[in-house]
Amino acid sequence: MPDLQSLGDNLQVGLEHYLTLSVMLFSIGTLGVIFRRNVLVMFMSVELMLTSVNISLVAFSRYLDDLNGHVLVLFVLAVAAAEAGVGLAILVEIFKKRDTVDVDEFRQLME
């Protein structure tokens, strides 16, 4: 039977853990944008990237004991919502005309 108390004392969740999580989310988001072809999924991946930004900002803010990071997080959230709003509105517009949300179908603007 391992001693749970000492295990807990030795495993502190520190700045590195949050940053690692943030980097992982950012990478997943980037890969999602690059490899998925469904525009909705691509937008979700972008949201994932923005979430990772927020995690790292909050972690830094907490670590530095400084509130400016939190302020930036609030604005990033609002901006992400606005961006998603505009993006989805444009997508709805396109979907009405083409009945698809696959980026490979949008090839009219090519050389």
Residue 29 near residue 52, CB atoms below 8 Å = yes
Subset of residues 13 to 52 that bind another protein, contact rule: CB under 8 A: 13, 19, 26, 29-30, 33, 35-39, 41-43, 46, 49-50, 52
Q: Least distance in Å: CB of 99 to another protein?
A: 6
User: Nearer to another protein by C-beta: 20 or 63?
Assistant: 63
Residues 6+ apart with CB under 8 A from 108: none
Q: Looking at this protein, which amino acid is placed at residue 57?
A: L
Mention every residue, 6+ apart, whose C-beta is less than 8 A from residue 90.
none
Of 91-110, binders to another protein (CB under 8 A) are 91-103, 106, 108-110
What is the smallest separation between the CB atom of 20 and another protein, expressed in angstroms?
13
Type of residue found at 80: A
